[in-house]
Structure 1
Amino acid sequence: MRKQWQLLAGIFILLAMFSSVRANTTAMGLTLGKTTLQQFITAYPSSLHEGRSKWSDGDIFSIPNRELGLEGVKNNAVIFNKDGKITAIMLELDKSRFDEVESMLAHKYVVQKKQISFAGDKYARYQNDDDLIELDAPYLSPVMKLTYSEQIFQEAYLKKSAEEYIRR
């Protein structure tokens, strides 16, 4: 019974951490396209500046994992655009939580693509207005990536990645 309560409490924490209103995509209390750099620093004063994003020309920060209150977080990055608003939130999580996170996302966002095999890669992409949410768990990796991003960030990322690939 105690384990059931712990699981239920964990799910509620996840829902609170990744809550979103239909018009806004919000994770960890941070809203894509709305939360400013100053609001972020106020909410997470111990965050670390990690440099500038080559995709958005904005600052990149990481939050100490213990402050997120989310079990299984390995790494994170909060990326701002040149106007000082959050354009992407990236998390690396323990892959064993895939089903739990995928279920939560499926209840909140419109599914665009879903490829989940029993013994292989697992991937799901969701959309919320102009924002994309991707959950990617490569088969041989111990972690999965959860990315919340504005469409404009995603386009810049794909364009710059293609340019770098061509230059090689």
Structure 2
Amino acid sequence: MLKLNKIQEEKYFEIIDKLKVKSIKITEIRSNIIKIIIISEHINIQQLTLKLEKNLSNVNLASIYNTIDLLLKEHIITSNTFDGKNIWYELSTNKSAHIKCDGCGKIEHVSADKIKNIDFDKFDHIISDKKQKLEHIKIEIHVICENCSSK
């Protein structure tokens, strides 16, 4: 059984309510996938499948992919590809930042409080002449971590 803290639980019910408003059925696997994504911050399909197999007796890979597609379509999650191969999923936000070590591939989510002082409105000028509305911004910072630097 997956345990959520109070903040995670609030996010979970917010997502569930959003899906119910659209008459989307909340199956056991969908519920568990949403909880795992909330808890994990970033997760790929392989990790998600392993975690589901620990919590559910019967895990259907097609159901996992269908749920991921549904959550992407409903803008509940977003996908990131840091190495051109693996796709990582996380909850959708209007601002997100990640730090990736180009040596070992470790990916770190930058917390919202660390990017709160970045004036994302300044990015509006990039699209202002195109009459478009800014939806969200992803920042990807590439580094060589301390462990990789010392090798």
Using the size of structure 1 for normalisation, the TM-score is: 0.26
Q: Give 1 or 2: higher strand fraction.
A: 1
* Structure of higher CA gyration radius: 2
Using the size of structure 2 for normalisation, the TM-score is: 0.28
